[in-house]
Amino acid sequence: MSNILGISCFYHDAAACLIKDGIVVAAAEEERFTRKKHDISFPINAINYCLKEGNITADQLNYIGFYEKPLLKFERMLSQHLEMFPWSFWSFFKALPSWLNEKLRVPSIIKRRLKYKGDILFIEHHLAHAASAFLVSPYEEAAILTIDGVGEWATASYGFGKGNEITLLKELRFPNSVGLLYSTVTAHLGFRVNDAEYKVMGLAAYGEPAYYEKFKKIVDVKEDGSIEFDMDYFDYHYKLTMPSKKFIEEFGPIRKKESEITQHHKDIAASLQKITEEILFKILNHLYKETKIKNLCIAGGVALNSVANGKITKNTPFKNVWVQPAASDAGTSLGAATYIHNVIFGNKREYFMKSAYLGPSFSTEYIKNFLDKNEIKYKIFKNDLALAKLTAKLIIENNVVGWFQGKMEWGPRALGARSILSNATNPNMKDILNAKVKHREHFRPFAPVISKEDVHEYFEIDKDEEQFMLFVYPFKEDKKKLVPSVVHVDGTGRLQTTSKEENPLYYGVVK
């Protein structure tokens, strides 16, 4: 029996994943236990859950994999701060304690917190992303793209996977980074970096790419998709801020949090999205020329850009695109574990991620005891059909339903295990949800869920399913008026399909 634990932490989206004989038995982000969004801390709660789910203790682990090489990352940090000294001193001073207390002490922290005496293997960050993308994908052979803010030095890499082997051909290096460009604009628009980039993506649909040419001055985009920044517009390589004084002169003052979002801000977001897609499609077209493989796997924070994902097959020769549900740094815990099992030790791939339900679950008895203890009213149903019918009735009568069943989702999307369900046919439902439940920006869309067999009736889509809500597709023109609360301003939806095989109770409600 082979037990391998993968861990990611200390930057954002800390997570853990356990595989037993190559099968993923548990995976969860630390934020799901601490309720701190994008929690960076050592994922002790997620680890304990994985061990419990696997019915093992830490001393039964054969290996632990960590999602990057801390010394290589520290080399990059020292290099960038020495290059910009003395202007970088304050940023370096602020960052040093976390390096000395945590990031350079990973082996001792793991061994102490878990009372673990075995081997710890360190996998390069973008290799962990690549493994998370390909090794649990449905493809025997695929091109691979990893693209994010920054790992050790790499900000993007590409290559291919075949069987249980991964070959990375080229990489883009810090400070040139699509992810850091997106984060810089996120900061400029008054949103939180490493958290709200998806808000900028949603905002882009309301704007026009009026500042695209300005972005072209800042980013030199080559034909193969490689990029070179004019670093005068950025501060992130030596300060705690991201947009520089020159960036602010070009695009206007940084928007204050909670202040009005103007057309100017919407147009900046639209321009950013346009140049991001241009870079992505150029990289992918070049990658196809090098690999001639029709299947594509993507990972990294930029792989969560569902708007761009939905356009890949129309703008590149790739026919099949797969994105692992926890494509951000959380997923590198999965990548580290699978890389050790499949690549380092050469084991044949036997697991394909057919669902994202890998997190904690609660027994009926546990839930009943909790409700009794807290004097919460409840009703017990004789069968799933009765529960599904009542839930559907409540939704169509414009009630908002908190939906809780089975194992928690792996990744950032609510996929029918921990979801808020409401009536897509009610044109006022978006405002009702934002006012009473979600308390979020008016421009952010809500996502449609549809049964797998009905997806082509409603969407302009080139595949039969989209389980993980990571692709945006256009609605068919005659269907937009039927489900107005989930149609975005540009006529699209970030959809999830569901099937009887994958989640029968959820499917029953939707159907």
> Residue 465 pLDDT more than 90?
no
pLDDT band at 434 (very low <50, low <70, confident <90, very high): confident
Rounded to two decimals, what is the model's pTM? 0.95
Q: What is the per-residue pLDDT for 35?
A: 95
Local confidence band at 91 (pLDDT 50, 70, 90 cut-offs): confident
The pair of structure tokens assigned to 302 is: 């930029």
Distance from CA of residue 444 to its chain's centroid? 17
The answer to whether 158 touches 98, Cβ cutoff 8 Å, is no
In this prediction, residue 95 carries a pLDDT of 80
Residue 83: what pLDDT?
Answer: 82
Element (H, E) at 28: strand 23-29
User: Looking at the predicted structure, is the pLDDT value of residue 438 above 80?
Assistant: no
Give the strand pairing for 23-29 and 63-66.
Answer: unpaired
- Over 80: is that where the pLDDT of 411 sits? yes
* Bridge partner list, 121: 65
Give the pLDDT score at 86.
81
Q: What is the pLDDT of residues 159-207, one digit of tens each?
A: 999 999 999 999 999 999 999 999 999 999 999 999 999 999 999 999 9
pLDDT of residue 124: 98
Rg from Cα positions in the chain: 23
Whether the pLDDT of residue 104 is over 90: the answer is no
Task: Please state, as a whole number, how many other Cβ atoms lie within 10 Å of the Cβ of residue 11.
Answer: 19
pLDDT for res 100 = 81
Q: Per-residue pLDDT tens for 265-319? A: 999 999 999 999 999 999 999 999 999 999 999 999 999 999 999 999 999 999 9
Residues 4 and 135: beta-carbon distance below 8 Å = no
Q: In this predicted model, what pLDDT tens digit does every residue of 332-362 receive, in sequence order?
A: 999 999 999 999 999 999 999 999 999 999 9
82 pLDDT higher than 90: no
Confidence of residue 77 (pLDDT cuts 50, 70, 90): confident
- Cα 157 to Cα 179: distance, rounded to the nearest angstrom: 13
pLDDT for the residue numbered 149: 95
* Residue 437 pLDDT class (50, 70, 90 cuts): confident
So what's the pLDDT on residue 436? 78
Query: Using an 8 Å Cβ cutoff, are 342 and 349 in contact?
Result: yes
User: DSSP H helical segments within 252-353, as ranges?
Assistant: 263-291, 306-309, 312-315, 331-338
Residue identified by tokens 């991964």 is: 166
pLDDT tens digits for range 229-250: 999 999 998 888 899 999 999 9
Q: pLDDT class for 430, splitting at 50, 70, 90?
A: confident
Cα gap 502→400, rounded to integer Å: 24
* Contact assessment for residue 120 and residue 64, using Cβ atoms and an 8 Å cutoff: yes
Alpha helices per DSSP H over 39-166: 44-53, 70-84, 89-98, 106-114, 125-134
Supply the DSSP symbol for 253.
Answer: S
Checking DSSP bridges between strand 449-451 and strand 418-421, what pairing results, if any?
unpaired
Confidence of residue 399 (pLDDT cuts 50, 70, 90): very high
In this prediction, residue 97 has a pLDDT band, given cuts at 50, 70 and 90, of: confident
Instruction: Give me the chain's average pLDDT, please.
Output: 95
225 forms beta bridges with: none
From the list 99, 106, 98, 31, the residue with the least C-alpha distance to 336 is: 106
Q: Per-residue pLDDT for 92 more than 80?
A: no
DSSP secondary structure string for all residues of 29-67: ETHHHH--TT--S--HHHHHHHHHHTT--GGG-SEEEES
* Strand-pair category, 63-66 with 119-122: parallel
DSSP for residue 174: T
Q: What is the pLDDT of residues 440-453, one digit of tens each?
A: 778 888 999 999 99
Q: Interior CA angle at 45 toward 56 and 362, to 5°? A: 75
Which residues are CB-neighbours of 389 under 8 A, at least 6 positions away?
Answer: none
Residues 6+ apart with CB under 8 A from 202: 443, 444, 445, 488
Conformational region of residue 407, where left means phi above 0, alpha means psi within -120 to 50, and beta covers everything else: beta
Bridging pattern class, strands 320-323 and 295-299: parallel
CA 109 to chain centre: 26
Question: Average pLDDT of 37-66?
Answer: 97
> Cis ω on the peptide bond leading into residue 138 (within 30° of 0)?
no
